[in-house]
């Protein structure tokens, strides 16, 4: 697919998202075109399920106060990234 056609298709998919009528097939298509989505285009990246996977940088999250929560077990408490679920550190 030519770059211009890809751009047009991404814009069409954006409009479908904004109108809240995007189909499952179109979401799959969006995911297949994800490498052509601009890294700053959060709307399309989120709908392609790419934004959360690629943007999980724990240092950035701590600086920006993105949802970090604690989880307790019987003996320990952990700081956990709410975005990816990774345990960041044990609390004292």
More confident residue, 21 or 91: 21
Give yes or no for a contact between 37 and 9, defined as CB atoms under 8 angstroms apart.
no
Domain borders along the chain are 3-54, 66-90
**Which residues neighbour 84 within 8 Å (Cβ) at sequence distance 6 or greater?**
52, 53, 56
- Helix, strand or coil for residue 42? helix
Report the predicted TM-score, pTM, of the whole model to 2 decimal places.
0.56
Other beta carbons within 10 angstroms of residue 21's beta carbon come to 9
CA-CA distance, 82 to 92, in Å (whole number)? 20
What tokens were used for 44?
């399309």
The 10s digit of each residue's pLDDT in 22-62 is 999 999 899 889 888 887 888 898 888 875 554 555 545 44
The 10s digit of each residue's pLDDT in 68-81 is 444 556 667 766 66
Q: What is the mean pLDDT of residues 2-24?
A: 94
């Amino acid at each position: 697919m030519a770059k211009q056609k890809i751009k047009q298709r991404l814009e069409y998919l954006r409009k479908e998202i904004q109108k809240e009528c995007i189909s499952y097939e179109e979401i799959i298509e969006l995911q297949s075109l994800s490498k052509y989505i601009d890294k700053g285009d959060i709307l399309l990246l989120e709908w392609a399920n790419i934004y959360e996977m690629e943007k999980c940088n724990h240092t950035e999250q701590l600086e920006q106060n993105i949802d970090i929560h604690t989880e307790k077990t019987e003996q320990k408490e952990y700081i956990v990234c709410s975005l990816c679920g990774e345990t960041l550190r044990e609390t004292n």
